[in-house]
Chain A
Amino acid sequence: MSKSTLTRRGVLRTGAVAGAGVALPTIFTSSRASAFTNEPTGGTVTLGFNVPQTGPYADEGADELRAFELAVEHLNGGGDGGMINTFSSKTLDGTGILGKKVEYVTGDTQTKSDAARASAKSMIEKDGAVMISGGSSSGVAVAVQGLCQEAGVIFMAGLTHSNDTTGKDKKANGFRHFFNAYMSAAALAPVLEKMYGSDRKAYHLTADYTWGWTQQESIQAATEALGWETVNNVLTPLAQTDFSSYIAPVLNSGADVLVLNHYGGNMVNSLTNAVQFGLRDKQVNGKNFEIVVPLYSRLMARGAGENVKGIFGSTNWHWSLQDEGSKAFVKSFGTKYGFPPSQAAHTCYVQTLLYADAVQRAGSFNPCEVGAALEGFEFDGLGNGPTLYRADDHQCFKDVLVVRGKENPESEFDLLEVVEVTPRAQVEYAPDHPMFAGGNLGSCNPGA
């Protein structure tokens, strides 16, 4: 083992060189003083679209990405303009946002909180994204929303249905257009009472994460108010793909309704398993056995195929709606991709337009000013009728659709029929409702 010898002169020389090396960069330092994180200075502005490209929600993620691309195209003046023409606010004119051309970066959330945050961080730190949107899981939405709050950028939540996103985990920099579990339950309960009566025994299978928990809690509260009884609630892991072992006990539980608090690939698999076990042909307690899926989407209906016929659920938006906004969106989406958009695509498209419009009205990309422009904003023409962005919790309030799997679909996209449009007043709740209590928006964070 040899020891190197240190000399006084050697140390001094090394020290001087190292010192000069450390000091050197400061000569070139240009001040990058900006008022907020990632202030766009050139002729472009970058938005970050963080969607699941792998995992159980990959189908939704792919559709969200299509919607984002369409929205960016419309904002930059391409295509037919879509819902920009029907939007009640007329600030968007196809010249980008505040005259800056819109560019975007994409990332894969993998439906994992850690991966989603890493992806969002790289968008903010490397690509200079000034707004993050997307996501198809509430766990991810809550995690990324927290990150955006810390980093000082706006988070426009994509498909996230948990009460917590704008409840106990709400953040000043986060905004949600999508409806939530409480609204689903409030809209669905009257229809369920009408169809299945008020004397039922429900068995819940629930995806084991924030959305599943709040969805189950909401449905249980709403159905128990009708007089239903809750027999059991079983939590299933999000990554589960075979639900046979969870379905078998349902048969012996004495329940006559199965509530599947599942979404995406989970729901496709659990519903298919349930139908294969012959649950729907059973008679329990002298009644037909029924299955309810609180949160429905067309993509799921397509995945589950025949099995969805006659099954009730709720949805945020459906392409068969006949208002001007929906028609314009379905037309431009269909022209570009050849099939109608899903509700996930709709909410992501709308969120992007709402963000762009808020920036235009605020006259700045500063997250605090954009946030103020969105708070209490009332708009129409985006497919859901008159809508309010409530300032207290950054949740949108609008009509909710109750849908049923169609018995005789006319095409491969025509799988759901709208049974009822539940008016906004019926699904509203106080900001301090027990299911949403415990959170705090905090103050908006512009970062830097």
Chain B
Amino acid sequence: MFGLGKKDTTVFVVVIILALCAPFILNPFPTGSSLAQFNAGYPDLMQRFVIFGIFAIGFNLLFGLTGYLSFGHAAFLGMGSYAAVWMFKLLSMNVIPAIVLSMIVAGLFAVMIGYVSLRRSGIYFSILTLAFAQMSYNLAYSVLTPITNGETGLQITLDDPRILGASATADGGIPVTNLFGLEMRHFTTVDVAGWSFNFSVGYYLCAVIMILAFYVAIRIFRSPFGMMLRAIKSNQQRLYYTGLNARPYTLAVFVISGMYAGLAGGLMASMDPLAGPERMQWTASGEVVLMTILGGAGTLIGPVLGAGFIKYFENIFSKINDGVLHGWFAFLPDGLENFVIAILHPFVGKGWHLTLGLMFMLVVIFLPGGLVEGGQRISKALKRNKPEDSGAARKANHEPAE
């Protein structure tokens, strides 16, 4: 279907189902229950899942296929956000021009940064991209304050011109980002016997764009162009000796990857019209590397899973405070309760980084192929229990992991 192979179609359909049913999947616990703390199905976090999914898919095109490890990808995300917010300030609150411009701006910067950085490979490439990203961050933070509003971040105000839209709504408020009148922040909550599910306009826009981005990524993976990129990863020297110039290919994929990041930045600004310099900081660039490795670099679905995993920890674990812990362990005797909480305390709330770090270590040590490898091992173990089609299963297992 859609010009995809059978296996890819399955993966694609799974992604579509996951994306469209996310409001149900992410809210598995009834609202009133004590486990509701772990529900992630509220609009802001769902939007983050898919937006960072797009970001990681784009990063994986570069890192997973060519092996070029860019340590400055967040710069494109940040530039995309600034471009989108400026579009909201100057043109209109419709998200389409903002998203288009954010991709164009990120693409242009990717051409410039890529042209310089791609002259080197390996660690030197990483350092060059890191340097460019830190430069962009520092420029946005202080020198370019008139354009970026410094540390506070660029926001929309009542005095913006907005040539094609209104500066202010009829009742004097700041207009809302929309898609031809469909407000991005609008969401409907549906209650079903104790559960409540949020259906957000902004989320579904992001989800549809993520599905498109995922589809394009599959096509690139399977195209002759993708094959060239893999060749670059396996042995660039040999490629040069056969008379092929690798640089146009690497530059092309670097720009595509940068535009994915710009798209993610534009979407972030569309969901919440603010752009701050910390989006470009090296920690943000490192985060997408973590997402990709955690999920499984070079696989199709891995980066999306990794993005979801990290964002879940950042937003859910960081909100568990001691009060919540006391609520959970209230059934224990006092001394024991305090003991258990004292042990858990460093791992939740502001200690979520620690938990995430431990998980990352476990994944890297025991599942070098990321979460995707974990899934493959489980399915392999399940298949082994069915001897009647073991031959077919073994054959399938010998295919390269995706």
Residues of chain A having any CB pair with chain B under 8 Å: 1-4, 6, 25, 28-30, 32, 53-54, 105-108, 112-115, 117-119, 121-122, 125-126, 138-139, 142-143, 146-147, 149-151, 164, 169, 208-210, 235, 237-238, 438, 440, 442-443, 445
Contact = CB atoms under 8 A, between A and B. Distances in A.
A105 B141 contact: no
Contacts of A2: 5-6
A114 B142 contact: no
A14 to B, nearest CB: 11
B278 interface: yes
B387 to A, nearest CB: 25
Nearest to A42: B32
* Residue in A30, A138, A151, A442 whose Cβ sees the most chain B Cβ within 10 Å: A442
Given A32-B191, A106-B319, A442-B158, A126 B151 contact: no
Interface stretch (B61-69, B123-131, B167-175, B232-240): B167-175
Nearest to B321: A106
A54 B193 CA distance: 39
A442 B142 contact: no
B272 A108 contact: no
A151 B150 contact: no
B315 interface: yes
Nearest to A208: B142
Interface in B265-285: 272, 274, 276, 278-279
B337 interface: no
A25 to B, nearest CB: 5
A208 B141 contact: yes
B192 interface: yes
A176 to B, nearest CB: 15
Contacts of A112: 276, 278
A53 B150 CA distance: 22
Contacts of B157: 169, 440
Interface of B: 1, 5-6, 9, 39, 42-45, 48, 141-142, 150-153, 155, 157-159, 168, 171-174, 176, 185, 187, 189-193, 197-198, 272, 274, 276, 278-279, 315, 318-319, 321, 323, 349-350
Given A53-B349, A117-B272, A118-B315, A209 B150 contact: yes
B347 to A, nearest CB: 14
Given A28-B191, A112-B278, A443-B173, A209 B151 contact: yes
A118 B44 contact: yes
Contacts of B321: 106
18 contacts: A25-B192, A28-B191, A28-B192, A32-B189, A53-B349, A112-B276, A113-B274, A114-B278, A118-B315, A121-B272, A126-B39, A126-B42, A142-B152, A146-B155, A150-B174, A209-B151, A210-B151, A440-B157
B98 to A, nearest CB: 16
A128 to B, nearest CB: 10
A4 B6 contact: yes
A238 B151 contact: yes
B46 to A, nearest CB: 10
B278 to A, nearest CB: 5
Contacts of B152: 113, 138-139, 142-143, 164, 169, 209-210
Given A30-B191, A125-B42, A440-B159, A208 B150 contact: yes
A35 to B, nearest CB: 15
Contacts of A445: 173
B1 A108 contact: no
Given A25-B190, A440-B159, 4 more contacts: A113-B152, A114-B278, A117-B274, A442-B174
Which among A112, A150, A210 has the greatest number of chain B C-beta atoms within 10 A?
Answer: A150
B150 A210 contact: yes
B173 A113 contact: no
Contact of A122 (B6, B44, B278): B44
B176 A150 contact: yes
B319 A113 contact: no
Given A107-B319, A125-B42, A235-B142, A113 B278 contact: yes
A149 B185 CA distance: 13
